[in-house]
Chain A
Amino acid sequence: MNGDKDLDAALAAMLSDPGCSAVFEVLHEFVDEQLGGGDPAGSNPGVAAHLLSCAACREDYLGLIEAAEKFGDEEPGAAPE
């Protein structure tokens, strides 16, 4: 922790934050809405608040965004590696 900005993050705790379990339940919807050009943070600010406060779920979210973009169109007919 090096200063104001870090302290700001260290103490982030929004009342709208639903917690990790609730966010996991809808994370796929949040990500697809974002990739589809929607505004998931606007329609579900509680999830957005959590992703700002929880480093673990934020990493999952960032990874899922990347994976859905890169591998999301894979079909079952594709030959296994």
Chain B
Amino acid sequence: MDAPAPSVPDRAFTSVRDAGVSSGRRSTAMMGAQTSLSHAVDLDAVSAAWVDGLRASGNAHEECVAALHAVLLRVARHEVARRAGSLQLRGPELEDVAQQATDDALMAIRAKVVGFRGESRFTTWAFKFVMFEVSTKMGRHFWRERRASWDEETWEQLPALVESPETHGEQRELFAALRRAIDHDLTTLQRRVFVAIALNEVPMDAFARDLGVSRNAVYKTLFDARRKLRVSLLAAGYARPYSVSGT
């Protein structure tokens, strides 16, 4: 679960893995989450052309908006196609998602361009709004492919995993301890979020839409649930609760 998409070049994820964040080590630098990687710099020529066009008036502005819409639509179509396999969407539905994501991304970009400081290329900054909108729109389609009883269904899978012949002794004990911790240590909301997202791989945006909250709010609940479970498993005697035999 949670593996990078196979179609993405390995190098795209290399620097993240190499940061050592999965090893559990912490340093002073890691404790403070930066909110900016750099200060504003002079815009490159292409970025300046985009920003000038969007801040202009009259025909120059309209032409720039039309050009940006065209680029964003190509990006959205590419991204929708990249993610399509996970939701089994087809041609007209994919195009609909791409068009809606493009329109909403363009609206956000036009509203926020005044605050663009040139920390990256303009296009990279603009494209992230497309990614967000595609993710949000595709989340809407998730539930059509799933039964409404997903959380009960998944909850039933955990005891089956504990009792599976393929689950050996130490693993079985770990899963049993995890099940107890989920049952007893999480709040109702934390349990619902953890079971849905961490166990059943419900997309965060689909779940956020279902709850009527932001992705960030769902993630915060998931994060708190994960911390509680790690503490619970540690207290139950698992020195490395998240991997009894892995590296």
Interface residues of B in 117-174 (CB under 8 A from A): 119-121, 123-125, 127-128, 130-132, 134-135, 161, 171, 174
The interface residues of chain B lying within 8 Å CB-to-CB of A29 are 36-38, 119-120
Q: How far is the CA of A53 from the CA of B17 in the complex (A)?
A: 11
Interface contact B30-A16, CB-CB below 8 Å = yes
What distance in Å separates the Cβ of A20 from its nearest Cβ neighbour in chain B?
4
A contact face: mostly helix, strand, loop, or mixed: helix
Q: Hey, what's the 0/1 contact readout for B18-57 against A, CB within 8 Å counting as 1?
A: 1111101011011111111110000000100110010000
**B residues lining the A interface (CB < 8 Å):** 1-2, 4-5, 8, 12-13, 15-22, 24, 26-27, 29-38, 46, 49-50, 53, 63-64, 66-71, 73-75, 78-79, 82-83, 119-121, 123-125, 127-128, 130-132, 134-135, 161, 171, 174-175, 178, 194, 197-199, 201, 203-205, 214-216, 219-220, 223, 226-227, 229-230, 233, 241-246
Known: A28-B120, A54-B204; 20 extra A-B contacts, CB below 8 A, are A3-B171, A4-B171, A7-B242, A14-B24, A16-B26, A19-B219, A20-B215, A29-B36, A39-B15, A41-B19, A45-B20, A45-B27, A48-B15, A52-B16, A62-B5, A63-B134, A65-B12, A71-B78, A76-B64, A78-B71
Interface contact B36-A14, CB-CB below 8 Å = no
